[in-house]
Chains A and B, each alone.
Chain A
Amino acid sequence: MKSVSKFGLCGLFAILFLAMMLVLPGTDQFGSQVAAQEAASGDVAPAVTYEPAPKLTADDYPKVAGVNGRLAVWVCAQLHLWFAAFVLAVPIFVFIIEAIGIRTRDKRYDDMAYEFIKVSITAYSLTAILGGLLLFSLILFYPHVFTYLSTIFSGSMLYYALLFFAESAALYLYYYGWHWLQGGLRKWVHLTIGLMLNAIGTGLMLLANAWLTFMMSPAGVDPAGVFSGDEWAAIHNFLWNPINIHRFVANIAYGGSIVGAYAAFKFLTATSHQEKAHYDWMGYNANFIAICALLPLPFAGYYLAAEIYAYSQQMGITLMGGIFAWLFIIQAVLIGTLFLSANYYLWCGMGRSTGAKRYTGYMKYIAIVLVGAFLVWFTPHTLVLTNAELKALGGPHHSILGPLGIMPAKNTAVNVMIIFTFLSFLFYRRANKVATVSWEKTGNIIQVALFSAAIVNILFLGIYHGYYTNTVYKVAASIPQVLTTFFVIIISLILDSFIYRGSREIGPLRWGKIPERAQYALFLLAVSFTWLMGLMGYIRSGIRQHWHVVDIMRDASPDAFTPTLGYAANVVSVATIIFFVLVIFVFWIAQVSSSKTLPAGYWKE
């Protein structure tokens, strides 16, 4: 399997490389780039000028075997992105877990990190295969778009292909050298390879992000799409960094959730207590990683949305207040599911400690707050109604619930949700400990005051600025709300670590003692995350509307229209199922690779 995987990858890279060479400017196949007249004096390099973005017609989109080009590209891109997110995220936390293992000299961390990376190695092959499929489908169905983009990004596409080789080398060295590079200096060398792997992986992501954000906020071209020749300007376009940040955080949360699903499945099928304990611990860590990244994710999302709005007010309004407004109601359902399942898993996990009984009474209140905040986020503002319903309601907004539909209410809800999820985590953290410091009571009072003040402040900012000031303050109030949330999380963690410094453990944590239903919370987390990413991919691409490159290169294909949410949901659902079929294959392969069959009497003794 390993050799097949390596062989497949090398072959694929070679094909990718050749494909890129075929479409890169400067070759015979490329016709839009025009070499300008050479300068009169021989010592001046010939200037290169570029043609405007082509104005396409429906005939410029090849029809291949009756396949819908947009659908093919959409599904390939989405599958590639899911796997890419996974294989980029796993090495990040594998690196961190390995470093923790080095620091604590606890081999369990090293074993867990190895198991994580083992899962991602097959996924890496699939990522490359799906990337190849995406490239071919783009060249097949959107040749002019790809040609135009490769004119501008010829340099970065070449570096991308080279980085792929470097990424593969680092990954294979990191994985296959795991047991070889153990102990002392060798371990540090291994960790350094892990760091390089992450640096290269992040570089790959940044390059790919540049291409897609260029399509949203083009730079380095004039209004007709004529490339200035400055590729860095095109890469460093307005939305590049907001997408980079959002994807980086989201990938970690996503990677955590997929590995959590792996651990959950292994837990359910474990046959020994020892095995159950191992995969329970692994599932807990994966969920912890997912939650840690999930907490700042809404803020990264708001930052991205704000930057989209800053780049183009029209695009921002299309995103938040136009045809996609209802998508955010679906998003609310998914985010609510993510938070509830992550919390539910934590609450179930408290059964591992007898000391948790002190906190279980609070769980129902946290659940009520989470559901309440979810419902606020879920409440739409303007309703699309039939005439009869419009008459019955007295207008497009509900008189009482309507105000909960606007952003200040949703900002407030998400901040409250995050704070209470953090509270769940804090209770989990304390469950098995008894503080021994003399000022424990004072510390707890400060903690309660801190949380109370933060919640009051968030509510005040949301209600006062959201409903009694103008639009500018309504939006601006979200910043102090976010800062309040971050403040309470950071200060509370610091305070808690002091309160529980030198604390006494009530008893050993009983890993493996968690109900099976808790594992389904991990599956729910993985499925919801995957589906949510697919949905947000639709909106990110959809806000370009009928443009390949916004305002520069128009989509003239028969599929230039924006599909309905229902259609998009169906595409995302089918892609999600395909993705999980492949993920199950990856998990199975990871399991098979460590199985051995001893065929009695088969080999000569």
Chain B
Amino acid sequence: MRKFLTVVAFMVITVALFSGYSNYGIPQIEPAPPPVEEKLDLGSMTMDQFVALGGRLFEGKGTCTLCHNSLGRAPMLDQIGANAQERLDDPRYEGAAKDVEGYLIESLVEPSAFVVAGFGKAGSNDTESPMPSTSGGGIALSEPELAAVIAFLQDNGGLEITVEIPTDIGSETEEPDAAGSGEPRPAMTSFQELSDEFACEACHTIGEEAGDLGPNLSTIGASRDRDYIRRALLAPNADLAEGFDPDMMPADLGEQLYAGELELMVDYLSKLK
């Protein structure tokens, strides 16, 4: 009996050690909850807010940054302004798009219509894209969401925004807040609240707080315009300040911010001169 109990104790302790390590030895990341329906008043949105919505979809629900990042899994999209026309003119292009906006829509909805050289599925000779259609399947962006992503891509790529904000649809699907509760968190109303929440000053110098992992933002408004700041918040790796490494700033910041909060941050930072 003693041996039996020793064996049982040994096994229970082993299980407890594995469980303890999993609970206390590694960080407990709360996975984002499934997307929920959230009412958005597209009708009263400004284009800046619509672009910000596109940025959030790009980083969040669209899951675009899983592959369109500096790791080289898919083409970077910050130069899409320059690249889109080249791709339309490419002899391999057999799609139906006539202009850049059409090309962007086609790429989102039917990714295999044109595959950038070197980014096709293995063995497909760049005729089949590994990217899923963003209008169906698990991503299932709605038409207004697709338009918002295109607005973001155009803005981010230095193009004129040609899409219009749909006004005939009153609700939109969006990612819930980052807290993971499934309930929308209350919007923050000051830059300091946002900075505390997202720990901006851990890496950046803003006022009295002095972080040195990211660029000094004390006078960012003097050298950068609002578009640059917005892009830096939504896609931190798009334009890296000299001397700083990519991937240091959380790529999902834009996903966690409400449109109003993003604009609040842009306002605040653009006034730091």
Contacts and interface: CB of A to CB of B under 8 A. Distances in A.
Interface in A358-390: 384, 387-388, 390
Contact of B3 (A269, A329, A470, A572): A269
Contact of A330 (B21, B131, B213): B21
Contact count band on B:
35 or more
Contacts of A563: 31
Contacts of A480: none
Contacts of B138: 314, 545, 547, 550-551
B170 interface: no
Given A550-B138, A565-B29, A531 B213 contact: no
A524 interface: yes
Interface in A312-328: 312-314, 317-318, 321-323, 326
A561 interface: yes
Contacts of A555: 34
Contacts of B18: 330, 333-334, 528, 531, 569, 573
Interface string A323-366: 10010011001100000000000000000000000000000000
Interface in B191-249: 199, 202-203, 211-213, 245, 247-248
Interface in A518-563: 520, 523-524, 527-528, 531, 545-547, 550-551, 554-555, 560-563
Contacts of B26: 326, 329-330, 565
Contact of B72 (A268, A321, A395, A471): A471
Nearest to B27: A384
B203 A577 contact: no
A204 to B, nearest CB: 29
Interface string A130-163: 0000000000000000000000000000000000
Contacts, number: 130
Interface in B1-56: 3-4, 7-8, 10-12, 14-16, 18-19, 21-23, 26-31, 33-35
Contacts of B213: 390-391, 394-395
A564 interface: yes
B136 interface: yes
Contact of A471 (B3, B73, B136): B73
Taking chain A's interface residues, is the majority helix, strand, or loop, or is none over half, making it mixed?
helix
B14 A527 contact: yes
A546 B61 CA distance: 13
A546 B67 contact: no
A344 to B, nearest CB: 14
B31 A561 contact: yes
B111 to A, nearest CB: 11
Nearest to A564: B28
Contact of A387 (B29, B35, B63, B199): B199
B147 to A, nearest CB: 22
Contact of A326 (B27, B67, B131, B211): B27
B75 interface: no
A265 interface: yes
A569 B19 contact: yes
B179 interface: no
Nearest to A581: B8
B130 interface: yes
Nearest to A562: B31
Contact of B132 (A314, A569, A580): A314
Given A268-B7, A576-B15, A566 B22 contact: yes
B122 interface: yes
A390 B250 CA distance: 12
Nearest to B30: A564
A329 B21 CA distance: 10
A396 interface: yes
Contact of B22 (A269, A322, A560, A565): A565
A306 to B, nearest CB: 10
B202 A326 contact: no
Interface of B: 3-4, 7-8, 10-12, 14-16, 18-19, 21-23, 26-31, 33-35, 63, 66-67, 71-73, 121-122, 130-132, 136-138, 180, 182, 199, 202-203, 211-213, 245, 247-248
15 contacts: A223-B136, A269-B3, A313-B67, A317-B73, A323-B31, A326-B26, A326-B29, A330-B21, A391-B211, A391-B213, A395-B248, A547-B138, A564-B28, A565-B28, A572-B19
Given A550-B138, A568-B22, 14 more contacts: A223-B136, A318-B66, A323-B29, A391-B213, A520-B7, A524-B10, A528-B14, A560-B34, A564-B28, A564-B30, A565-B22, A566-B23, A569-B18, A577-B15
**What 4 A-B pairs have minimum CB-CB distances, sorted nearest first?**
A569-B22, A387-B202, A546-B34, A551-B137
